Amino acid sequence: MQRLTKAEEEVMQMFWDQGDSTVSELIKEMKPPKPPHSTISSIVRILEKKGFVNHKAFGRTYLYMPIIKKADYSKFSLKRLVSNYFEGSMNELVSFLVKENDMTLSELTEVIDKMKNEK
């Protein structure tokens, strides 16, 4: 899996939120100032080359659909973050999060219990 740029990630987030969409439908949902159609079209084509979306043609209109799940990209991004900034240690990441967020032992235990119940 390849890393996405910020712009690619923003467009991909729209696909994850909306599902199958045309470029025009994506632009319609964007807040002003809306980017040119050609800009979003280029980003979507890059996402397709990277293997994140696929398309079906309906005449001159392309319907794009996400083929990488948000959870899969999240997992990839988190592993990359841990590898690059926390020496590959999830313990270092959790320790950092606890320190930076002033998390109490009780709150951390609550998060762990919640994760255990979800499995």
Q: What is the tens place of the pLDDT at every residue in 52-110? A: 999 999 999 999 999 999 999 999 998 999 999 998 888 888 888 888 877 787 888 88
Say whether both 12 and 58 belong to one domain.
Answer: yes
Q: How confident is the model at residue 118 (pLDDT cuts 50, 70, 90)?
A: confident
Tell me whether residue 1 is in a domain. no
Cα–Cα distance for residue pair 115/22, rounded to 1 Å: 37
Tell me whether residue 23 is in a domain. yes
- pLDDT, tens digit (0-9, with 9 covering 90-100), for 34-52: 999 999 999 999 999 999 9
The per-residue pLDDT for 113 is 82
The per-residue pLDDT for 119 is 63
Say whether both 26 and 62 belong to one domain.
Answer: yes
The CATH number of residue 45's host domain is 1.10.10.10
Number of C-beta neighbours around residue 61 at 10 A:
11
- pLDDT, tens digit (0-9, with 9 covering 90-100), for 18-37: 999 999 999 999 999 999 99
DSSP structure string for the chain: -PPPPHHHHHHHHHHHHH-SB-HHHHHHHSPSSPPPHHHHHHHHHHHHHTTSEEEEEETTEEEEEE-S-HHHHHHHHHHHHHHHHSTT-HHHHHHHHHHHTT--HHHHHHHHHHHHHH-
Cα–Cα distance list, 26 to 6, 39, 52, 61 (Å): 16, 12, 16, 13
Count the domains in the chain.
2
The per-residue pLDDT for 10 is 96
What is the domain extent for residue 99?
89-119
